[in-house]
Amino acid sequence: MRTSRTAVARVAIASMAILALAACSSAEGSTASTAPDPSLIRESTLTVCTSYPYEPFEFEQDGEVVGFDIDLVSEVADELGVDVSYVNEDFEDIESGKLLNANFCDLGVAAVSIDGDRARVVDFSSPYFNAAQVMVVQKGSGINSLTDLAGGNVAVQAGTTGETYAEDHAPTNTQVVKYKNVEDVDSALSGGTVDAGIYDNNIVKGAIERHPNFQVVAEFDTGEQYGMAVKKDGNVDLLRVVNQVLADLQESGRYEEIYEKWFGKVKDNS
């Protein structure tokens, strides 16, 4: 399968080249001569709302929160000179801005795709990763496309772009069934409760490893990019630090090191 890591990863890393410019423009009203001074809800601690398990972006391993997103957040915390406290919350409560705008956390990091609706309720960093959506079925199901789901049902994680894509593109008589997290989508598909599941292509490898009877039958190029989020119109200085860290990681080659740690080395097929 040519679904998850290679082609999209090349685009993801290539897209980071824009970060140096984006770092200057994302924080509206900031000035280059003034050093950012982010206000945090807890002194000397960056409180981060995330939503796991979402391997390899954020998940628990041996009692610790780890993953690609987590390593990026650690770089931000190091730049700020503070500790990190992770709060595991429902994805919908992060992407909707509910937790950030209530000052429950400083930063939302959960493989959140940037889109217009979300940008109206939170402020996003520069994009740091590209993604697409894939459809997964059980082997031998005979389902090969969204069209084949007519009269059936498809599982999605609630609040995600996978949910949006399914609702916009599945046949009108297809039921879109929403679940709290990816593991629940796995369970519904493996148990036969649903006919298919929609996943981000960057995490589908884990689902297939957990369930060898799963297979990807379609990929949808949705043009998604992940961003880190802060409260709306409320933490420009923190965004400035995040954007600068992301740009510095790309320039130094550290971003590629972190990427390879979680996704493997990007192949050059040119």
pLDDT, one tens digit per residue, over 99-120 is 999 999 999 999 999 999 999 9
Q: What is the pTM assigned to this prediction?
A: 0.78
CA distance 136 to 199: 7
Tell me the pLDDT tens digit for each residue of 165-208.
999 999 999 999 999 999 999 999 999 999 999 999 989 988 99
- What is residue 21's predicted lDDT score, i.e. its pLDDT? 39
| Residue range(s) of every CATH 3.40.190.10 domain in the chain | 6-128+227-263, 131-223
CA distance 147 to 174: 9
6-128+227-263: CATH topology is: D-Maltodextrin-Binding Protein; domain 2 (3.40.190)
Residue 149 has pLDDT above 80, yes or no: yes
Mean pLDDT of the chain: 88
DSSP-H helix ranges across 121-253: 161-169, 182-190, 204-210, 236-252
**CA-closest candidate to residue 13, choices 169, 186, 246:** 246
- What is residue 106's predicted lDDT score, i.e. its pLDDT? 98
The percent of residues in the chain predicted with pLDDT above 70, rounded, is: 86
CA distance 164 to 169: 9
Band of the pLDDT at 34, cuts 50, 70, 90?
confident
Q: Does domain 131-223 have CATH number 3.30.70.250?
A: no
Tell me the pLDDT tens digit for each residue of 46-97.
999 999 999 999 999 999 999 999 999 999 999 999 999 999 999 999 999 9
DSSP for 92-110 reads HHHHTSHHHHTTS-SEE-S
Q: Reduce the DSSP state of residue 129 to 3 states and report it.
A: strand
